[in-house]
Chain A
Amino acid sequence: MDYFFEKEVENNARGRVEAEEKVTGKAKYSAEYDIPELAHAVMVGSTIAAGRILNIDIANAKEAPGVIDILTHNNRPTVPGIATEEAWKKSRFSLPVFHTDKIYYNEQPIAMVIAETLEDATYAASLVTADYEESEFETNFKEERDSVETIETKEEKGSRENWQNADHIIEREFKIAMEVHNPMEPHATIADWKNGELTLYDKSQNVYGVQGNIAKLFDISENNIRVISEFVGGGFGSGLLVWPNTVVAIMASQHLNRPVKVVLTRPQMFTSVGHRPESWQRFKIGADKSGKFLGCYHQAKHATSSHTGHTDNITGLTWKHYHFPNIKTEQEEIPLNIPKPTWMRGPGDASGAFAIESIVDELCEKLDMDPVEVRLMNLSETDSQGKPWSTNYLNECLKIGAEKIGWNKNRKSKPGELKEGEWNIGYGMAVGFWNAGRQDADASIEMKPNGDIIVRSAMTDIGTGTGTAMQNMAHNFLGIPKNKIAIELGDSDLPYAPSQGGSWGLSSLSGGVAAACKSLKTKLVDLAYGSKFEKGKGNLKLVKLNSDGISMEDDSLEPVSYKSIFDKNNLGVLNVKASSSPREEAKKYGFCSSAAHYVKLKVNKLTGDIKILEMVSVADGGKIINDQAAANQVIGAAIGGIGMALMEKQDIDHNHGRLIGNDLAGYHFPCNADAPIIDVSFIDKPDYNRNPAGAKGLGEVGIIGCAAAITNAIYNATGKRMRDLPVTPDKILMA
């Protein structure tokens, strides 16, 4: 089990670059900056699900001690990007917050109290009341979904007729509850608008995204906005968009000419920063006697908010990891009076994988074939456009995982055969798959005369280990020892980086870091050797940056100390900056990350309790830049998969259109005892077509497929097919 712990990792003995700050409490998250004159703001939500505000009564609240002002749609400063219905639709911002009297969902922000202290603001917020004109609302996905037809997502491949007489055809329906990201750090913003300059300490996975969006909404120049998200307490997708809490904090700061802090309460975290939408899927699969897949027809519907859309590409995965000669996919969204959904870890694919990977398991039973074998014989050799995979080691993942959990030794193919007292034991498996993307990214390096460098990028680190990866990469590209490499990130004043999402963060950033390292080398050889250095012929690769100076690996030129280079050229510091984009040749290939998940669990015959006993994940994430952090990612995602499979569900009270689970006692995700020690391993083979580091993203594949691995194991234990997530004990007992 123990890639994660026992393997000695070279140069990685003492953890992450920011580790000490995190274990001592020094790391500063968005709400924790000490700004003079800071005012505290608390938002008030609507108490109806649809209608119109007739009147907001703020009189009592205004009288409460410490209150500075209260913003509502009657008195807020105008934000051009949401000032009119037309502007709002154009801006595509999630809500015309405080710019409308319309109510689209329960707990929609209708007012915000700004006060001297948090206690003052919290108390006064409880005194704000509103009268509404209520209108009909719809929050019931199940009731609405049948009235809506699915429509084709892309042109059908082949035809459904080609496989209508297949030897084996199965058709099943699958349901997944609404899930909420709930990073441990509540979203928070400190907005400080002074003399036309706006500083935002904002919890975000994308500082440039926040900067660009806020510039458009407020119609100010991006140059006047600085966004800082140095430490981000988790995101899982909730920090990819700009949300109303950021916008109202800016409004308040502009209005009062004072820095203002808005921190969401945990209940507000359930309604303010997105969720994975509730979904329904129907999947039909056909195969011949030998187990070859002949075709599939995949339909999906998911909930969305009526006031602003969101699409989870649930049927996207269907085109990716298996080879189906015939594919038809259809989707539709069901608009409801609920807050806006958004991408949540493994968006679309995590939902789609539950259907595909479950039905393949069922098919294997019908075929009387091993689920690993059937998968191996149906893996796709090209991406959906027919391009060959640059690298795809899913087959190896499958084999290694099977070996590790003892698939062939321990598992019984007939369900219910392994028992231990009142427990049934079962094994299950499934795979995860994700496009390995890459985007443009810049990076810069500053070098001091003693050879210390600072590598900089605006990329955030939401816990993935971005900073440590930057340090590892710079060390690999340059040779400079790690203790001389400092990292700065999470700030829009730093070189451009895309959002940290979609598992492309590290992949993109490696291009930027590699390019900056190359510029630094070029500049240093130029200063040190001038024309003595023969350009081209891959000579730059021979240049080594040591701790105190530069040398050539083949000793063709004399070593020169940094100090003398800096002195000779009268330099205080040396700065380089470089950009990067995916390579042209990359267009020839398909790129993917993948994983195989294996689960052993037990199900209690009397209570329906499920206990995960073992979980093995083997992932292909290309070259692994930082073993511990990469493993930690996959562990976290796998445990997120346990949550998705067994626990996570947001209920809605359809009589009042209100969310029911709005705290961590009501909405469950795994605690320490809910998960075993997860066994993670990697293929660890580079894909240099993707980027100079050879790394492919790992954030999503860890969760995609996990839920199906678990429900397949539940079937193996009990003979009960669970197609409705989460599988709570009551569902087991009723099945």
Chain B
Amino acid sequence: MSSPPASLLTDQQLVAQILGGNAAAFGQVVRRTEGLVTQMVFKMIRHPADRPDLAQEIYLKAYKNLAGFKFQAKLSTWVGQIAYNTCLHYLEKKQLVLLDPTEATADEDAPNYRAAPTHLASTDADPEAALFGRDLADILGAAIEQLPPLYRTLVSLYHQQELSYEEIAQITSLPDGTVKNYLFRARKQLKLHLLARYQRADL
């Protein structure tokens, strides 16, 4: 009886194959998680030249530590944890921050939030329809890039990778409440950015 293709193996079966000496099966781990890892590396690391080496370092760490993976979480979550910690270590070495402390403690009623064009919301103008007519993807993509690296990462994990709050909390070792709070602030900043773009374009 032939064994099932690697793409159909469960996490446990895949890990058993690799630990049994089938190093090529690790390719399946990369294929299953490279969307997540690439997303995290691109969002956490601003310097493009450093991203390829970091992505490879993440997987080499995962391979070397695979025997220590005890299936407390999904394999992808475990690889995500390694990706997050590896990028965090890189940022620390370069003395870069994932989130400026002033951003982390910013009150949502702070002046920069009040300065947002909230008047648009009370007019009859429909910002959604207005934005729809422009290249919303481009505007939003640029707005996400302007967020602090941690907010960028959380937005991409939740809205693009479609991870749950709990999975994001596991990957980042942040409390659930902190993940929700940061995502709330990030979305609000994105909304204000879109509204500001709408206002500028409307003048």
Q: Do A and B share a complex?
A: no
Residues of A at under 8 Å CB distance from B? none
Residues of B at under 8 Å CB distance from A? none
